[in-house]
Amino acid sequence: MIAITPATVLQRRSDVRYRRIEGEAVVLRQSAAEVLVLNEVGASVLELADGELSVGEWIDALAGEYDGDSASLARDVLAFAAELAEAGLLEPVAGGPEP
Partner 1 sequence: MSLARVVASAWRENLLFSVLLELTYRCNLDCFFCYNDLGLRGEPLSREQYLRLLADLREMEVMNLTLSGGEPLAHPDFLALGARARELGFVVRIKSNGHALRGELARRVRDEVDPFLIEVSLHGATAATHDRQTRVPGSFERLLANLRELRELGLRVKLNSTLTRWNEGEIEGMFALADSLGLPLQVDPEVTPRDDGGREPLQVAPSPEGVLRLFRLQFARGRAAEEGRPEVRVARGGDDGTVPTPVHKHCGAGSSGIAIDPFGNVYPCVQWRRPVGNLHEKGIGEIWRGSAGLAEVRGLTVQVKERIGAEGPGSHLLNFCPGSAAAHAGSSLELYPAAVQRREILEQVMVEEEKRTLLPVVR
Tell me how far, at minimum, the Cβ of 25 lies from partner 1, in Å: 10
Residue (16 or 74) nearer to partner 1, CB = 16
The least distance separating partner 1 from the CB of residue 46, rounded to whole angstroms, comes to: 11
Which of 63, 35, 54 shows the shortest CA–CA distance to 81?
A: 54
Which DSSP helix (H) or strand (E) runs through 92?
strand 90-92
Q: How far is the CB of 11 from partner 1 (least distance, A)?
A: 13
Contacts of residue 47, defined as CB under 8 A and 6 or more positions apart, other chains included, come to 20, 25
Q: Which residues bind partner 1 (CB under 8 A)?
A: 14-15, 17-22, 24, 26, 28, 30, 33, 35, 37, 39
